[in-house]
Amino acid sequence: MKISFHGHSVILVEANGTRILFDPFINGNPVTDLKVGEVKADVIIVTHGHNDHLGDTVELAKKNNALVIGTAELADYLGSKGVRTHGLHIGGGFNFEFGRVKLTQAFHGSGYINENNEIVYLGMPAGVLLTIDGKTIYHAGDTGLFSDMKLIGDRHPIDIAFLPIGDNFTMGPDDAAYAAGLLQAKKVVPIHFNTFPLLQQDPRTFVKMLPDGVGAVLDVGQSIEL
């Protein structure tokens, strides 16, 4: 299984011939290496409806005939745009052909600013547990620290966790390091940092807060094998 980081919260998982793309914020993303016209995805998972996570979902889903997975409200909204969707909600999961997706809580917001500069409410934000090819991946989405991360780790042994460290809108490095301890993931990768001035952080300083061998910084375009 190959997992690659493409800036901000964009993660691509490639396993068993399936390409699963998380939070495809590409156009307008100053740190990504991806181009919308070149991206191939079979499945798109969106953690919440903010513009820097929903991103280019509609265009990519239509171009690739990709299935989009998210909360029920988000799925309904995207379905109205002609996108093929599967809605879930917090605590719920579904066994797809490629693997299992389960949503966890996240403490954040979820609203899309449309072309008329109106905010469209898109339900609750979520974290995602993806179990595929015998491995479990946790994408926390945008969230603050919460104690039930311990329950998530206890009930779902996590092989790799992607945690936001940008502060201001999400956890900062200190809280993310504490979250990593609650989750007990085998590997922890920082996301949601250095995209914009408000999110400036040193990911290597964050990794030093974790036990030896747990933290890993992925540069944009870099991948890790599970």
Q: Which residues contact 181 (CB under 8 A, 6 or more apart)?
A: none
Residue 113 predicted with pLDDT over 90: no
CATH number at residue 210: 3.60.15.10
Question: Whole-angstrom Cα distance, residue 134 to residue 174?
Answer: 30
With respect to residue 221, please indicate whether it lies within any of the assigned structural domains: no
Which amino acid, one-letter code, is at 216?
Answer: A
pLDDT in tens, 175-211: 999 999 999 999 999 999 999 999 999 999 999 999 9
Flag whether 224 is in a domain. Answer: no
% the chain with pLDDT above 90: 96
- Rounded distance between C-alpha atoms, residue 40 and residue 194, angstroms: 25
- Would the pLDDT of 88 be above 90? yes
Is 183 inside any structural domain? yes
The span from the CA of 56 to the CA of 68, in Å, is: 12
131 part of a folded domain: yes
Domain assignment of residue 105, yes or no: yes
- Which tens digits make up the pLDDT trace of 123-132? 999 999 999 9
Domain region containing 6: 2-216
Q: What is the pLDDT of residues 151-183, one digit of tens each?
A: 999 999 999 999 999 999 999 999 999 999 999
Residue 223 within a domain: no
DSSP state of 199: G
* 160 is a domain residue: yes
Q: How many domains does the chain have?
A: 1
pTM greater than 0.85 (yes/no): yes
Residue 11 inside a domain? The answer is yes
- C-alpha 177/C-alpha 35 separation (Å) is 32
Q: In 90-202, where does DSSP find H-type helix?
A: 149-155, 173-183
Let me know: does 205 contact 173? Beta carbons within 8 Å. yes
- Residues 95-124, mean pLDDT to the nearest whole number: 94
Parallel, antiparallel or unpaired: strands 85-88 and 67-71: parallel
Contact 121, 149 (CB under 8 A): no
Secondary-structure percent of the chain, ordered helix, strand, coil, rounded to 5? 20, 30, 50
